[in-house]
Amino acid sequence: MKEKDTAERLTKFNLGLPIKGEEILGFYSWVNYNGFRAPETCGNNYQKIHQAYDFGVYLHQDGRKIVGLPEGVSVRATADGRVDVVRIENYLERLKNYQAVRIIHQSGRGTFYSWYLHVVPLVKKDEFIKKGQFIAEIFRGEFNTPHLHFELMLPEGRFGGRFIDPGLLFPELYRHNLDSI
């Protein structure tokens, strides 16, 4: 499926962002520091595949680059749906203390929110949620760079869905890159 067709298809779902920048004191704009990289853009270098967007670096209104989300930032559901997965420890052998929430939305499309121990889930498996509902909260603790790893899927790939770059729907996510500021 071509990017333009995918973007048009996604627009029909009226998704929201999982983190509202305007709720972060002094927020100006998101900074792409670890954005979407699909297999077709990486060739055979599968180490560089990152089929998600990481919310974790932003520009402050005074021009500073802030690394790590502040404690207390709320993570929201991007659309109505059913919580399919909550907090998977040791999801992959290399990821200890890994936590995640996956929400299945209309027509089987899903969103997957993951993190390490710096986010506290606020929902339970099989709970029905509404768009904008708080599903987790950032806990900074001793972590230097708390962030949210956000995946967007259509019904034809991983978990029964195909990864889609959130930037197709939210181009403002790529307005600033870490290397260019």
Region of residue 107 (phi > 0: left; psi between -120 and 50: alpha; otherwise: beta): left
Look at residues 118, 166, 162, 119 and name the one whose alpha carbon lies nearest to residue 142: 118
- Give tens-digit pLDDT for 138-154: 876 666 678 888 888 77
Q: How confident is the model at residue 71 (pLDDT cuts 50, 70, 90)?
A: confident
Q: What are 19's two structure tokens?
A: 């983190």
Select the more confidently predicted residue: 1 or 70. 70
Question: Which of the following CATH numbers is that of domain 3-180: 3.40.47.40, 2.40.70.10, 3.40.109.10, 2.70.70.10?
Answer: 2.70.70.10
pTM: 0.79
For 23-66, what is each residue's pLDDT tens digit?
999 999 999 887 655 555 555 554 456 777 888 889 999 999 99
> Which residue is listed with tokens 């972060």?
24
pLDDT, tens digit, for every residue of 81-135?
899 888 655 444 444 556 778 888 876 677 776 665 567 788 999 999 999 999 9
